Amino acid sequence: MIIREFLFTPFDLKLKEPLRNASFTIESRSGFIIKITDEKNQVGYGEVSPLPGFSRETLYECEVALNTLHYMIISKSVKNEELDLISELKTISNLPSLLFGIEQAVISLLIQRRELSTLLTYEKLIPINGIVGINTKEETFRNIDDLLAKDFKTIKIKLGVNSIEDDVELVKQITNRIDDSIKIRLDVNGNWNFQQAEFAVNNLPKDKIELIEQPVNNVNELVMLSDFSKIPIAIDESISNTAEAKDIIERSNITNIVLKPSLLGSIIQTISLIKSAEKLEKKIIISSAFESVVGRSAIVWLASFVEGNYAHGLNTAAHFEEDLATDDYLVFKGEILFDPKNNPPKFNGIDI
């Protein structure tokens, strides 16, 4: 494949209202959209959007590397040289969000060129969990009722700011208000200490909670909690790269692993992680890091690789005031219909 054009442009998307978790508040998302055009005039898009507070790289570092990549790729284009994907990606392996965006754009082109048949998936309904950020009790109840009215079957509640006693009492009130058929997930973003987490797993209604996501920060403590907790423990923020994810999947007793591909980096390695986990009968949850419609489309595609009927964290589009282009993967009744015939999307309305 010969690259004829390599462009990127910044974007900034505001949320309808700030989303609070135990660690920080998200009010907007910024990043870059990449556009790569091949010698057949086919276009592939990718997104680069490190998440402050989670990503180890900054947006500025990504911009510097994008400028360097631009000149490297364009110089090859002038000489009609083929893109050496492995060689180019090695230069940005320390910038996971940039690696994700470049891989997304290149993979999109390879799919269009019918050169990636091994990574094609089938049509699938992907269950999605709704998100309830940290708010007053009244606002929390209203947000839950709104998600139930939209037919979500799995709801994730953010906790970790109030006292552990208040968190546990709030969850009890929530589970008493809703039908047992609704799955409840708790997400603490690592804000409890071990004693608080121990209190929680011993006092929460264990038959009504599907899992607790990242109750503590320390990986060893997560493993210890998983040894005795009657409520399944999931790991999220403690995984900062694909190597750590591989180690958790293959060597720990944690059976629920949340992967945020745009923060981990490699799309190809994420697919490998999904397959490794399933061989060991572990559950992978694919989660958005509040990407735009561009990056989110790749996250949905990755979720289509996961077997089973497990809900994924992909309901972030609903939180934006507006997006960069039309969304081919809308959430309807708590699900997204992934159709491989529409992959990659055309992103009608995007301007770059």
| pLDDT tens track for 258-305 | 999 999 988 999 999 999 999 999 999 999 999 999 999 999 999 999
Q: Which CATH superfamily is domain 124-342 in?
A: Enolase-like C-terminal domain (3.20.20.120)
Q: What number is the average pLDDT over the span 240-258?
A: 94
Query: Is the CB of residue 127 less than 8 Å from the CB of residue 335?
Result: yes
Strands 183-187 and 209-213: parallel
Cβ-defined contacts of 315-318 (< 8 Å, 24+): 315/128, 315/129, 315/130, 315/131, 315/152, 315/288, 316/131, 316/288, 316/290, 316/291, 317/293
Would you place residue 81 in the very low, low, confident or very high pLDDT band (cuts 50, 70, 90)? low
What is residue 212's predicted lDDT score, i.e. its pLDDT?
97
Nearest to 43 by CA among 302, 266, 349, 344: 344
Which residues are within 8 A (CB) of 131 and not within 5 positions of it... i.e. 6 or more apart?
A: 19, 155, 156, 158, 313, 315, 316, 319
Nearest to 98 by CA among 31, 11, 12: 31
For residue range 331-349, what is the model confidence (pLDDT) as tens digits? 999 999 999 988 999 998 8
Q: How far apart are CA 332 and CA 151, in angstroms?
A: 8
183 has which bridge partners? 154
Q: How far apart are CA 34 and CA 54, in angstroms?
A: 22
Phi-psi region of 114 (alpha: psi -120 to 50; beta: other; left: phi over 0): left
Q: How far apart are CA 187 and CA 200, in angstroms?
A: 12
Q: Is 292 helix (H, G, I), strand (E, B) or coil?
A: coil
Q: Domain residues of the chain, as ranges?
A: 3-115, 124-342
What is residue 84's predicted lDDT score, i.e. its pLDDT?
63
Read off the DSSP letter of residue 64: H
Q: What CATH number is given for 3-115 in this structure?
A: 3.30.390.10
Query: Is the CB of residue 216 less than 8 Å from the CB of residue 200?
Result: no
For residue range 181-220, what is the model confidence (pLDDT) as tens digits? 999 999 999 999 999 999 999 999 999 999 999 999 999 9
